[in-house]
Structure 1
Amino acid sequence: MINYELYRVFYWAAKTGSLTQAAKALYITQPSVSHAIKQLEQSFSTTLFARGSRGVELTSEGKMLFSYVEPAFNYLNMAEMKMEELKNLEGGELRIGGSDSLFKHYLLPYLETFHQQHPSVQVHLLHGTTPEIVAYLKEGKIDLGIARMPIADAQLEVQEGISLQDIFVGGPKYDYLKGKTLTLEQLLAHPIVMFSRTSHSRTAITKLFHEQGYALEPEFELGSVDLLIEFAKKGLGISFVTKEFVTKELENGELFEIKLDRQLPPTQVAIITLKQMPLSKAALSFVDQLDL
């Protein structure tokens, strides 16, 4: 095994792009950094850094090594933080991965309560798609993730949560559709507004239309749930949204549900963690609050 300290030097040199900055971070001299890098390069019989006037850059071999070293150091840092948190919840971090919409419409009340109870715990939210959240977990960048099912991965612990129902909604411009039950063909006679990024809900609805012989081609593809709601309110089309995320708009009449002649399949939210990776006290405390 190569000395752990050599990897520490390599990690900081790669992270900062500077032997001088790496030396400062490690409280050692720059010649010591250079010597450690040289030892590591000799042990692998390859060049890990390209040196230039502005610092150092990883070679292709160095990038490959860093792709393994970085997650390892992330896990070590996480282990140190979790050991510190074992004392009490007067410090530490809670790192959660999920979509912006689930953060806003599902997790926000729980995050508010958690912060009130444990104000010293720093909360970090990392947004992304389900595949990105799974990758964040495996790289040690988050403690837990929240995403829509199905999620099939042997490395993950999947804890089923609340059920969500996706619907089509319209604004006042489409009041003439109130009280009517539309076929899929009748629905497609109107402009459709959908989320632009690939998601489980969009995949499911696209598959449903395809199975019935229809191609679901949105008039608008948007980058956030808030925009889907605004486009529907302004009459720019009929938006495909999660019913639980538009309860206020449905109650005050800004939007109404477009009824279809078939029931759209519900989806479930899941809390995902890595198997055999104990959760910190902060993460356990937060999960205990959730409506699962």
Structure 2
Amino acid sequence: MVNFELYKVFYLTAKSGSISKAAKELYLTQPSVSHSIKILEEQLGMILFSRTSKGVELTKEGSVLYSYIEQAYNFISMAEEKLQELRTLSSGEIKIGGSDSLCKHYLLPFLETFHVQHPHVQIHLVHGTTPEIVKQLKEGKIDIGIVRLPIEDEQLQVREGITIQDIFVTGPKYRELSMNKVTLAKLKTYPIILFSRNSFSHNFITRLFHDNDLLLEPEIELGSVDLLIEFAKIGFGVSFVTREFVAKELAEGSLYEVNLDAHIPPTKIGIITLKNMPLSMAASAFVDELERNR
């Protein structure tokens, strides 16, 4: 194994393109930097730099080495930052991915409480569908994903959150649907409003109809839960939403739950992280808060 300090000299020289700048950053003399590079080249058996009028530039072999050393250097810097965060929650950041509806109706109260407790921890929210959130998590772009379960992936650690119940709701125009039992076949004769086609809820309810030998063709598809709620209120049709997310509207009477003569299975919200990848202190504290309140 080559001494790591030699790689450090190599990295800073390559990054700055100058032996003198690297020497200044390392608090070494220029001859010491040149000597370290020479030792590294001898140990690896290849030339890593060529001299130019402006300084030094990487050879082809040097460029290959740099691409790996840069990643290693970045990971070491990240590790140092994580260790610093272990000392205190007075700094740090959490990157959380989830759908618009889960961020607004599920995460927001926790985010508000966490921010009051740890005002210096930065929180970044990334919106997307479940496949998009999983992809971002695997690419290291977020720390935590909030999704609907079930989800099966060997690379993910899945923690169960609260249980939620999806329902059909309508405004005053179709209020009769809340008074008497309605079959899926009967409901299908009304204008149905669903979330966008690639969403969990869209696939979930169309699969339920399919299992009952019915083809569900929504009249309207929307990209926002808020729009689903508003469209149902003003009489465009019957929207498929999460009961917990429309509790206020149901209580005040601006929405009515359809009295469906069919069982819609409840679902759970899942907290997903990468297996074998330790969370920062801030992210771990936030996950603990979510689990305590499931």
Alignment-mate amino acid for residue 152 of structure 1: E
Task: Report the Cα offset of residue 138 of structure 1.
Answer: 1.3
Separation in structure 1 between the aligned mates of residue 219 and residue 71 of structure 2, nearest angstrom: 41
**Which one-letter code corresponds to 1:111 in the other structure?**
L
Answer whether contact 1:74 1:141 (CA < 8 A) is retained: no
Once the two structures are TM-superposed, the CA of residue 208 in structure 1 deviates from its matched residue by 1.2
User: For residue 212 of structure 2, what is the aligned residue in structure 1?
Assistant: 212
| Residues 169, 232 of structure 1: 8 Å contact kept | yes
User: What displacement does 1:283 show?
Assistant: 1.0
Contact 1:149 1:200 in 2 (8 A): no
Distance 2:217 2:72 in 1: 43
1:16-48 alpha-carbon deviations (Å, 9 max, x no partner): xxx9xxx9xxx9x9956x82375445x59xxxx
1:55-134 to structure 2, matched below 5 A, reads 78-134=78-134
Matches of 1:118 and 1:105 in 2, distance apart? 21
- 1:130 and 1:276 map into 2 onto residues whose CA distance is 21
Whether the 8 Å CA contact 1:158–1:271 is kept in 2: the answer is yes
Quick one: structure 1 residues 135 and 259, their matched pair in 2 at CA, closer, same or farther if it must change by over 3 Å?
Answer: same
Q: Which residue of 2 aligns with 1:281?
A: 281
Give, in angstroms, the shift of residue 73 of structure 1.
7.7
Q: 1:35 aligns with which of 39, 57, 67?
A: 57
What residue identity is the alignment partner of 1:186? K
Return 5+ residue gaps in structure 2 as ranges: 26-51
How far off its partner does 1:203 sit?
1.6
Q: How does 1:43-58 map to 2 (within 5 A)?
A: 43=64
TM-fit CA distance, 1:5? 8.1
Residues 156-235 of structure 1 aligned to structure 2 (within 5 Å): 156-235=156-235
After superposition, the CA RMSD in angstroms is 3.2
Contact 1:71 1:139 in 2 (8 A): no
Go from structure 1 to structure 2 and tell me whether the alpha carbon gap of 1:202 and 1:80 turns closer, same or farther (over 3 Å shift): farther
Deviation at 1:277, TM superposition (A): 1.2
Q: 1:150 to 1:70 in 2, by over 3 A?
A: farther
The answer on whether the counterparts of 2:195 and 2:201 sit within 8 Å (CA) in structure 1 is no
Change over 3 Å in CA distance of 1:208–1:81 after alignment to 2: same
- What is the distance in 2 between the residues matched to 1:36 and 1:257? 67
The 1:220/1:145 distance shift into structure 2, 3 A limit, reads: same
In structure 2, relative to structure 1, the CA distance for the partners of 1:148 and 1:77 (3 Å cut) is farther
Structure 1 residues 151 and 277: CA distance shift in structure 2, 3 A:
same
Aligned to 1:101, the other structure's residue is in SS state helix
What is the number of equivalent residue pairs in this alignment? Answer: 257
Kindly provide the amino acid, as one letter, of the partner of residue 183 in structure 1.
T
Return the letter of the residue paired with 2:195. F
Contact 1:194 1:240 in 2 (8 A): yes
Match of 2:237 in 1: 237
Whether 1:268 and 2:268 are equivalent positions in the alignment is yes
With the length of structure 1 as denominator, give the TM-score of the two structures.
Answer: 0.78
1:162–1:268 Cα contact (<8 Å) kept: yes
SS at match of 1:246: helix
Gaps (5+ residues) in structure 1?
A: 13-18, 45-64
Give 1:148's aligned amino acid: R
Q: Does 1:141 align with 2:152?
A: no
Distance 1:76-1:262 versus aligned 2 partners, 3 A rule: farther
Residues 197 and 203 in structure 2, CA contact (< 8 A), matched pair in contact too: no
Cα distance per residue 1:175-219 (max 9 Å; x no partner): 222311111111011110010142333222111111211111111
Indicate if the aligned counterparts of 1:9 and 1:37 stay in contact, CA closer than 8 A. no
Bigger radius of gyration, 1 or 2?
Answer: 2
Take 2:53 and 2:231, find their aligned partners in 1: how far apart are those partners?
57
